[in-house]
Structure 1
Amino acid sequence: MKIGNKVFDFTKDHTYVMGILNVTPDSFSDGGKFNEKDKALYHVEQMINEGADIIDVGGESTRPGYQKISIEEEIARITGMLEAIKARFDIPVSIDTYKAPVMKEALKAGADMANDIWGLRYDHFYAKEGETSVWDCKTMAEVIAKENVPVCIMHNRPKAVYQDFIPDVLADLKESVAIGVSAGIPKENMILDPGVGFAKSYEDNLEVLRHLKEFHVLNMPLLLATSRKSVIGLTLDLPVDQREEGTLVTTVLAAKEHWNMVRVHDVKKNVRAIKMMEKIMHKI
C-alpha cells in the first residue's frame, strides 16, 4: 500500500508504527501539549527520529465524554498543522476525523490517509431519514474515494450491545468495507482497526486483545490502537501518564500475532519492543 510517498509492504512480517499527534486541548492522554504549532512540529520531528513510519493528526478529542467542536474549528486546527508538517518533513500523515467536511479539507491540505473512527458508517447511523449523508459534501466514503487515498476503517457502533461479540465486530468491519467499495474505495486501500475503547466494555476490549488472531480471517491489513487506553488503566489501576508498560504489552502482542501497524503515543519504546519481538520470532 502506498501512503503518501512511502510504500508500506503489508506482506512482510513487520509491524509499522503510527505516531499520534493530538492538536487538541482536551485529548485524554496529551491534551494541550501539542496544540501550539512549534511544540507540535518539534514532537513530530522527535517521533520521526524515534522511528515513526506515519504520523496521525487529530483535531478533536474522542475520549469518553469529549467536548464536540464545530466543523470550522476542527478544520482551523488541523489544516495549518498539516501544511506545516508536510512542508518540513518527508513522512506520510493521516488525519483522524469522522466528519466528512473536515476530511475533505484535510486531504486538500496534504493528508495522505484518512483515519475514520466510525468506519465509514457515521452516515449510515445518523443521516436523516431519506438521506444518505449527514453532510453537504456527501458521505465520508465518497469524499475519501474522490481523493483516492488509503483509509483506516475503525470498528464502532452507537451502543455496545452484541449478540456474539467477536463475530459481530467482524461483521461490522465487513459492512464498513462494503460501504467503502460501493463508494469507489479500492479494497487494497483499506486498513482495519477493531476499535479498542469504542462501543466496547472493559471485558469486550480484553476479548479483542485475546482474539487478535481471528481478525486475520478478514484478509486485510490490521492496525491496533490501544495506547494508554482505559483497558490498560483499568487493568493496572493507573492514570493515563503511567500506562506505557501496559501499552508495550499490547504492542508486543500485535507483533506476535502478525498485525501490520500499531498507533501509539510513545514511539521510541514501541519501536524497540517491536524490533525485539520480531528478532525473537524471525530467529535471524
Structure 2
Amino acid sequence: MNCINAGKEFQINCRGKLLDLSSGPKIMGILNTTPDSFFDGGTFHKTQGKVDLDRALEHALEMIREGASIIDIGGESSRPGAEKISVREEIMRTIPLIELLQRKTDIIISIDTWKAEVAEKAFKAGAHMVNDISGFTFDGDLPGVCSQYRAAAVLMHTPVKPESMQWSTDTGSGKGDILARVSCFLEQSIAVAEKNSIHDLIIDPGFGFGKSVEENFQLLAGLRSLQALKRPILAGLSRKSFLGHAITPKGEEILPPSERLTATITADTIALMNGASILRVHDVEAAAQCLRVLEAMKRF
C-alpha cells in the first residue's frame, strides 16, 4: 500500500505497519541517545558515554503511554555546530535500543539519520521509517536502502549540514521567499524518492534548520501552502531557539530550552491549525492534550 491521498487524509505504510492519519494528527516522540543534543543531550547516557538502555526504553514506553504513535530514535545531534560522529558510534548508540524497543512494543520506530549505513542497520533491527534531516541530499545511497527495505521516509528541508549551521537569529538569509525555497527543495526530494520507488513519504519544512527567526515564523504562518505537495506535513517545533527569541524580553539573554514548553505548545497548535499531520515533540503528554483540545473543537 502506498501513500494514499484522500483529500487531507493520508495513510503511510511503514514496512507493513500502517500510520493512519485519517483519524487525526499523530505524535512522534523524540528519543535522543546523544550526549550533546540541545535539550535532552546526555539524558540517557551512563558513564563513559554508553547509552543507558533501560532508562531509554522506559522513557520510550512512557511516551507511548502518553500518546506517541512513533518513536524517533537519534544517535547524532543535529543542533547547529554539532560535532560529527562516526557511523560506528551512531550505530552503537541506536541499534541496541531499536532491537529492544521492537521486542517490547509494536510502536512504529523511526531512525533519525541521514546515513545509509546507519539506516540499513536500523531497518534490520526493526525500524520502520527513516527521518532524514537532509531530504535525501547528504547521502546518495540512502534512497536505495529505503527502497530495498520498503521503508517510509520523512524528508526534511535543510540548507547546510549541522556542523556549518547557526542557531536561529534575527538576521534573514537574504535568499528570497522561504516558503518557495522550502517547497522547491521538498519537491526535488520527493522526486528523488519516487525515482527510487519510495512513495510512503512525509515532508518536514525544517523549523530552526538554517533559518532566521523571521523565516521560521513565516514558515509557521504559511505552512498550509506546503499541502500543495500532497504529502502529510510533520512539524518539529519542540523547544526551538526561534521560539526562545519570541518569548524573551527585549535586551535579555534568550530563554533556554527548558523554559520554552508553553511557546512550543502554542506553536504546535498553530501548526495543527495550518495543516500539520504529525508533531515531533519532546513533551508527548503536553502535545496530546493540545490534540485533544483541537479535537473537541471539531464537535462545534
User: Residue 287 of structure 2: which of 244, 265, 270 is its match?
Assistant: 270
Indicate whether 1:51 and 2:38 are aligned. no
Alignment of 1:132-281 (within 5 A): 133=140, 139-158=141-160, 162-186=175-199, 189-237=200-248, 238-280=255-297
* Cross-structure match for 1:21: 31
Distance 1:178 1:47, change over 3 A: same
Supply the AA of the counterpart residue of 1:24.
T
Q: What do residues 73-121 of structure 1 show as CA deviations (whole Å, max 9, x unaligned)?
A: 0011111010011111221110000111111111111111110000001
Shift of 1:141: 0.9
How many residue pairs match? The answer is 266
Distance 2:183 2:137 in 1: 14
Q: 2:27, 2:280 within 8 Å by CA — same for their partners in 1?
A: yes
Q: TM-score, normalised by structure 2?
A: 0.85
Supply the AA of the counterpart residue of 2:179.
I
Q: 1:15, 1:258 within 8 Å by CA — same for their partners in 2?
A: no
Corresponding residue SS for 1:8: strand
* Cross-structure match for 1:126: none
Supply the AA of the counterpart residue of 2:27.
V
Q: 2:113, 2:132 within 8 Å by CA — same for their partners in 1?
A: yes
Distance 1:253 1:34 in 2: 31
Distance 2:246 2:188 in 1: 31
Shift of 1:183: 1.8
Supply the AA of the counterpart residue of 2:144.
E
Q: 1:255, 1:278 within 8 Å by CA — same for their partners in 2?
A: no
Corresponding residue SS for 2:120: helix
Distance 1:205 1:70, change over 3 A: same
Shift of 1:6: 4.0
Corresponding residue SS for 2:289: helix
Shift of 1:34: 1.8
Q: What do residues 189-221 of structure 1 show as CA deviations (whole Å, max 9, x unaligned)?
A: 000000001121111111111111111111111
Shift of 1:4: 5.2
Distance 1:89 1:226, change over 3 A: same
User: Residue 116 of structure 2: which of 100, 103, 117 is its match?
Assistant: 100
Percent identical? 39
Supply the AA of the counterpart residue of 2:197.
G
Supply the AA of the counterpart residue of 1:180.
A
Give the unaligned 5+ runs of structure 1: 124-132, 134-138
Q: What do residues 49-95 of structure 1 show as CA deviations (whole Å, max 9, x unaligned)?
A: 11111100000111111111101100111110100111112211100
Root mean square deviation of aligned Cα: 1.5
Corresponding residue SS for 1:82: helix
Q: 1:71, 1:102 within 8 Å by CA — same for their partners in 2?
A: yes
Distance 2:15 2:216 in 1: 31
Corresponding residue SS for 1:167: helix
Question: Structure 1 stretches (4+) deviating beyond 4 angstroms?
Answer: none
Q: TM-score, normalised by structure 1?
A: 0.90
* Cross-structure match for 1:130: none
Distance 2:193 2:221 in 1: 28
Q: What do residues 26-46 of structure 1 show as CA deviations (whole Å, max 9, x unaligned)?
A: 110001112311110110111
Shift of 1:157: 1.6
Q: 2:223, 2:275 within 8 Å by CA — same for their partners in 1?
A: no
Q: 1:120, 1:153 within 8 Å by CA — same for their partners in 2?
A: yes
Deviates more, 1:31-40 or 1:261-270: 31-40
Q: 2:222, 2:274 within 8 Å by CA — same for their partners in 1?
A: no
Distance 1:168 1:101, change over 3 A: same
Shift of 1:264: 0.2
